[in-house]
Structure 1
Amino acid sequence: MTSASDEKSDADLCQTTGFVQLPRRQVAVSMTCVNLVMFLAALGQTTVATALPSIVADLGGFDRYVWIATAYMVAATVTAPIAGGLSDLYGRKPFFIFGLVVFIVSSALLGVSQSMSAVIAFRAVQGIGGGLVMTASLVSVADLYPPEERGKYQGSLAGVFGVASIVGPVVGGYITHHFHWNWIFLLNVIFALPILLLIIWVFPRVIPNITTRKPDYLGMISLAVAVVPVLLALSFGGVQYAWSSPQCLGLMAFGLAMAVAFVVVESRAESPIMSLRLYTDRFVASAMMVMLLTGFILYGSLLFLPLFFQGVLGVSAAASGRLLVPMLPGIVGGAILFGLLLSRTGGRFWLHVLVTTTLAAVGMYLMSTMNEATGVFRIVSYLVLAGVGIGGTLTVLSAAIQNSVPFSLVGAGTSASQFWRSVGGMMGLAVMGAVLVQSFRLKVEARVPDEVRAALPAGLLDSVKENPQALLNPAEAEALREVLAEAGSDDSLIIDSLLDSLNAALADGLSNVFTVLAVVATLSCAGALLLRVQTGTDNRPNTLVSQRRFV
């Protein structure tokens, strides 16, 4: 009878072609470590959401409120393709270890930060660590499981991420309320240390057996210089700066110019960080496109649903959070369900994606019909339907990409899908924000009756169009009443009519947002049809043809 350590040693010394099944015990323990890492990284990303007001109250810097979230997201997005490409050269284990070390150190520094500048800087560093470990987690499924089982375990990872997304804000709020916001970061250190030791001890180091290991330093630099300005422009546009401002236009133009330079660099690189070979395959390129569209839908919907709940239905922020919760279990359930179906029914990726994107499109269309009279049960059912579609799409696409690229590119392929999902999400936030602002302005003009318009002080309606706080904050609504009373327009019917018109205009604007998201989801359905292979068979062939070795 062999011990676990003996099994591990035998597996680590193995050298072969294609997939090799590691000892079952080692796979189980390694996957447990991967799930723990994913849960920790997701918590690090989501717990801070409910702590942001307290951080700003303690340290000041309200004008840089958005930077705390943006710093992490931009750093993680840029890190993902770099980590994926390098893991194809050196294996996943070094990036688990290095990523966890970066995550632990940055969390400790965040826990003792005494200024907003320090918090923003260390959040960016934490984003690098988070990007490293999340990429390594997603890619490692290909190291641990054969192609026919990867959908199931990609679904489990998506489920872990979804649970952390639900638990994170609750935990963050509890810690902030009962202790102090710095403990959100310090607890990361406490929980991450034993996970780091487990990874070092248990996780196998699987390395593609390739002849050239020359890191693409120029590609890394050009990718970062291309992506960071574009992501910053998408984050700041319409929030801190106007879209037509020199800041946004300059960042966008510079980023796009550097993107062209990045393509040139990668086409000449010996070991490119983001291989252009991935995009010469119609199947993989189509999967990346659908992933981008799915990220667009996911982030776009999650941002504007709370606005509908608070602004149109008039519920509190806490109640808004409770109404949003059903969508997240829908995403988790969809990820697990379609991951299991994929593992049981084989690699009919295009059919699975067609079903999941159709569910997402129908869910988004139903959301576009919501108004102030829509019942809670109907709203919850719409959210669950859309969530199942989005979660299923993300899982099936992740497995499809991993099973369709050579093992020597599985890290680059998996991280590229993660990268395009994040880029699509930031595009969704930017585009849907512009759609809402423009739609709301037009609908206010159409909805406010002439008699109400005539009774309002000069400039008040234009001010409300730009910032409808009266719909979100009862104190602002009361302040609006006082302004109208001072202007001699204290008729309650005038005030109520104005608020009702603003409410209807916001509902119309958000309906346009969800309609656009439904159109984007429909485009992703069309993209699913492109996933059918040209041979006419429903199954995508596995192309894991490169050697790999265990050290």
Structure 2
Amino acid sequence: MAVRTAAHHSSGQVLPFRESLLAMLGISFVSMLVALDQTVVGTALPTIVAELRGFELYAWVATSYLLASVITVPIFGRLGDYYGRKPFVIASIVVFTGASVLCGAANSMMFLVLARGLQGIGGGMLVGTAFACIPDLFPDSVVRLKWQVVMSSAFGIANAVGPSLGGFLTQYYGWRSVFYVNLPVGLLSLFFVWRYLPHLRHVAHKERMRLDWPGALLIAVTLGSLQLFVERLPAHGVTFSALGLLVLAAASGWALWQWERRCPQAILPVDMFRNASLNALFKLAVLGGFTMFSLLFYAPLLFQGGFGMTPNEAGMVITPLVVFITIGSIANGRVVSRIRNPNRMLYIGFGMLAFACFGVALATHNAPRSFLMALMIVGGIGLGFVMPNLTVFAQQTAGREHLGIATALLQSLRMIGGMFGTALTGTMVTQLYTSGVHKALDADHATHWFAQLADPQILINRDAQHVLIGELTKAGHNGALLLEAAREALVGAIHLGIALAAVIAVVSIWQTRRVPPIRLQRKVEPVIHAD
């Protein structure tokens, strides 16, 4: 494979406009692949469990994917820095698409869980390498922000249509089609990436990289045990096994830090964490993920279970959140490069996110739908201001040698923040809801029905509600009143969880003060073109 230095265009991009557009289309299809999978599968899960009969593995359909992807993101982010990203993007598309076919062919829940784990490896490779291709193509951060809108739009479209598409496919073509839909998107992305994405390397290494296997293993143990800990927390609370997982995560994390300090070719360069700007941005990624995922996961449950909306009505209220993330990203790309202090966009974004969360935490079932949708719009724009800027600022600060691992770490830390956010909020919701339900049933001497009301899903399933109300009424209890008490308990619990997310957003505003002023300079650095 010939290696030569690629000439930059005067506009701050490696390729001419047409080639840049086609390469970005390939990366955008890759991002759509990940976004579609995240939103489509959740809609089909109840149907999948009903057919494959494995409710005890319900959570593992999501957990196996998350666990595998969180582990592989930093590993392949680092490998992409050394060998160039194109080979790994191609491999990730093949793995992800092939695993999607296996998921669609699953004949048992265990088979599906294993196939989702393989799909998570492909997803982690995608996130760890594809997102870092954009600064490869556009070294000028100002130009990059404008082109990043293409991928943000693709991601936003996939997020917006995902839930509806998942419901449509499941209802009319069966749940297996939810996984098979990845096949045409995967083949399309593979064509564009193979044909138009250049193989670029920004660092010419004199000696061949030796993969840091101990570092990779310690990353896997640290993130894996942390993921398992936060997954168990909402359902089981603080148990000895959960604490054991937390201790294992802390011990392996400390061992990882010590090992990477001495490793000459560390897969996780610890010197990045000594950089004040990068350190502050990494913390903001964790905090931003905490708030974002808490809102995304529990606002729909509040609207359906707490406020009594139908799934379609709740979907209409939630849709502006994901749509306006894209619109906010587009607006951000036009504004941030024109203002003297780009850091202000982080203040504004986190401020809008905090406002939206506080608004949701104070909203009642009498709140107009238009008011709730307005809150979702504010939250979406806020996320559109925060997420792309964290990525671009980190890429600007990290330098070419650490560009891939910095981008990958940012994505991983945002997911870790999301894990903690959903786990802590979920634990609060579970404990407060069950406590409120038990108190209401105890006051009416109806604790015999606690098992039926203990799961908040009863507040969404209207057929099950009618059956339960009938049983309670037959036994001499006011079934409708007890169900309303359960609904109020759920609303209060989720309000507290979303309020915690709002407080974290306020903490993020304070943490933004620690980010040194970022200068989006127009500078061009040589790259190695290895086609």
TM-score past 0.5 threshold: yes
Which amino acid in structure 2 is aligned with residue 216 of structure 1?
Answer: D
Which amino acid in structure 2 is aligned with residue 539 of structure 1?
Answer: R
Q: Secondary structure at the match of 2:234?
A: coil
The answer on 1:224 being equivalent to 2:220 is yes
Indicate how the Cα distance of structure 1 residues 441 and 543 shifts in structure 2: closer, same or farther if over 3 A, else same: farther
Q: Alignment partner for residue 514 of structure 1, among 482, 492, 498? A: 498
Report how far residue 236 of structure 1 moved. Answer: 2.4
8 Å Cα contact 1:403-1:543 kept in structure 2: no
Per the alignment, residue 233 of structure 1 pairs with 229
Which amino acid in structure 1 is aligned with residue 28 of structure 2?
Answer: N
Q: Which has the larger radius of gyration?
A: 1
Per the alignment, residue 134 of structure 1 pairs with 127
Q: Give per-residue Cα distances to partners, 1:294-318, cap 9 Å, x unaligned.
A: 1111110111111111122212223
Per the alignment, residue 210 of structure 1 pairs with 205
Instruction: Give the Cα–Cα distance (whole angstroms) in 1 for the partners of residues 147 and 71 of structure 2.
Output: 25
Q: Secondary structure at the match of 2:337?
A: helix
> 295-304 or 306-315: which moved more?
306-315
8 Å Cα contact 1:233-1:248 kept in structure 2: yes
Report how far residue 514 of structure 1 moved. Answer: 1.8
1:99-114 correspondence to structure 2 within 5 Å:
99-114=92-107
Indicate how the Cα distance of structure 1 residues 32 and 20 shifts in structure 2: closer, same or farther if over 3 A, else same: closer
Indicate how the Cα distance of structure 1 residues 171 and 85 shifts in structure 2: closer, same or farther if over 3 A, else same: same
1:332-411 correspondence to structure 2 within 5 Å:
332-345=326-339, 348-411=341-404
Per the alignment, residue 319 of structure 2 pairs with 325
> 117-126 or 244-253: which moved more?
244-253
> 181-190 or 504-513: which moved more?
181-190
> 275-284 or 247-256: which moved more?
247-256
Indicate how the Cα distance of structure 1 residues 272 and 16 shifts in structure 2: closer, same or farther if over 3 A, else same: farther
Q: Give per-residue Cα distances to partners, 1:138-184, cap 9 Å, x unaligned.
A: 10111111122222333432332121112222222222222232233
Instruction: Give the Cα–Cα distance (whole angstroms) in 2 for the partners of residues 502 and 402 of structure 1.
Output: 47
Instruction: Give the Cα–Cα distance (whole angstroms) in 2 for the partners of residues 53 and 441 of structure 1.
Output: 22
Per the alignment, residue 446 of structure 2 pairs with 457
Per the alignment, residue 188 of structure 1 pairs with 182
Indicate how the Cα distance of structure 1 residues 471 and 336 shifts in structure 2: closer, same or farther if over 3 A, else same: same
Q: Secondary structure at the match of 2:527?
A: strand
Q: Secondary structure at the match of 1:210?
A: coil
Report how far residue 36 of structure 1 moved. Answer: 1.5
Instruction: Give the Cα–Cα distance (whole angstroms) in 2 for the partners of residues 173 and 186 of structure 1.
Output: 14
8 Å Cα contact 2:294-2:418 kept in structure 1: yes
Q: Secondary structure at the match of 1:549?
A: strand
The answer on 1:549 being equivalent to 2:524 is no
Report how far residue 57 of structure 1 moved. Answer: 2.6
Instruction: Give the Cα–Cα distance (whole angstroms) in 2 for the partners of residues 511 and 256 of structure 1.
Output: 31
Q: Secondary structure at the match of 1:332?
A: helix
Report how far residue 510 of structure 1 moved. Answer: 2.0
Q: Give per-residue Cα distances to partners, 1:175-234, cap 9 Å, x unaligned.
A: 222223223333423332243233222211111223342322221111011111110121
Report how far residue 396 of structure 1 moved. Answer: 0.8
Q: Alignment partner for residue 276 of structure 1, among 270, 277, 283? A: 270
Per the alignment, residue 201 of structure 1 pairs with 195
The answer on 1:41 being equivalent to 2:34 is yes
Instruction: Give the Cα–Cα distance (whole angstroms) in 2 for the partners of residues 369 and 281 of structure 1.
Output: 39
Which amino acid in structure 1 is aligned with residue 169 of structure 2?
Answer: I
Per the alignment, residue 465 of structure 2 pairs with 477
Report how far residue 453 of structure 1 moved. Answer: 5.4
Indicate how the Cα distance of structure 1 residues 191 and 532 shifts in structure 2: closer, same or farther if over 3 A, else same: closer
1:240-259 correspondence to structure 2 within 5 Å:
242-259=236-253
8 Å Cα contact 1:334-1:390 kept in structure 2: yes
8 Å Cα contact 2:470-2:479 kept in structure 1: no
Q: Secondary structure at the match of 1:161?
A: helix
8 Å Cα contact 1:59-1:116 kept in structure 2: yes
Instruction: Give the Cα–Cα distance (whole angstroms) in 1 for the partners of residues 470 and 405 of structure 2.
Output: 59
Indicate how the Cα distance of structure 1 residues 470 and 221 shifts in structure 2: closer, same or farther if over 3 A, else same: closer
Instruction: Give the Cα–Cα distance (whole angstroms) in 2 for the partners of residues 317 and 16 of structure 1.
Output: 52
Q: TM-score, normalised by structure 2?
A: 0.92
Q: Secondary structure at the match of 2:515?
A: coil
Which amino acid in structure 2 is aligned with residue 528 of structure 1?
Answer: T
Residue segments in structure 2 that go unaligned for 5+ positions in a row: none
Q: Secondary structure at the match of 2:390?
A: helix
Instruction: Give the Cα–Cα distance (whole angstroms) in 1 for the partners of residues 33 and 309 of structure 2.
Output: 31
Per the alignment, residue 5 of structure 1 pairs with none
Q: TM-score, normalised by structure 1?
A: 0.89
Q: Give per-residue Cα distances to partners, 1:34-63, cap 9 Å, x unaligned.
A: 111111232233222222223223322111
> 468-477 or 369-378: which moved more?
468-477
Report how far residue 524 of structure 1 moved. Answer: 0.6
1:531-550 correspondence to structure 2 within 5 Å:
531-533=515-517, 539=519, 548-550=527-529
Instruction: Give the Cα–Cα distance (whole angstroms) in 2 for the partners of residues 480 and 107 of structure 1.
Output: 38
The answer on 1:162 being equivalent to 2:150 is no
Instruction: Give the Cα–Cα distance (whole angstroms) in 1 for the partners of residues 212 and 458 of structure 2.
Output: 53
Q: Secondary structure at the match of 1:287?
A: helix
Which amino acid in structure 2 is aligned with residue 327 of structure 1?
Answer: L
Instruction: Give the Cα–Cα distance (whole angstroms) in 1 for the partners of residues 51 and 492 of structure 2.
Output: 38
Report how far residue 485 of structure 1 moved. Answer: 3.4
Instruction: Give the Cα–Cα distance (whole angstroms) in 2 for the partners of residues 178 and 542 of structure 1.
Output: 51
The answer on 1:87 being equivalent to 2:76 is no
8 Å Cα contact 1:292-1:422 kept in structure 2: yes
Per the alignment, residue 505 of structure 1 pairs with 489
Q: Alignment partner for residue 258 of structure 2, among 249, 259, 264? A: 264
Which amino acid in structure 1 is aligned with residue 528 of structure 2?
Answer: R
8 Å Cα contact 1:37-1:134 kept in structure 2: no
What is the percentage of aligned positions where both structures have the same residue?
27
Indicate how the Cα distance of structure 1 residues 504 and 223 shifts in structure 2: closer, same or farther if over 3 A, else same: same
Total equivalences in the alignment: 525
8 Å Cα contact 2:438-2:447 kept in structure 1: no
Per the alignment, residue 297 of structure 1 pairs with 291
Q: Give per-residue Cα distances to partners, 1:482-503, cap 9 Å, x unaligned.
A: 44334433xxxx4444333333
8 Å Cα contact 2:141-2:521 kept in structure 1: no
Instruction: Give the Cα–Cα distance (whole angstroms) in 1 for the partners of residues 27 and 462 of structure 2.
Output: 45
Instruction: Give the Cα–Cα distance (whole angstroms) in 2 for the partners of residues 106 and 182 of structure 1.
Output: 13
Per the alignment, residue 4 of structure 1 pairs with none
1:18-37 correspondence to structure 2 within 5 Å:
21-37=14-30
Indicate how the Cα distance of structure 1 residues 184 and 307 shifts in structure 2: closer, same or farther if over 3 A, else same: closer
The answer on 1:311 being equivalent to 2:270 is no
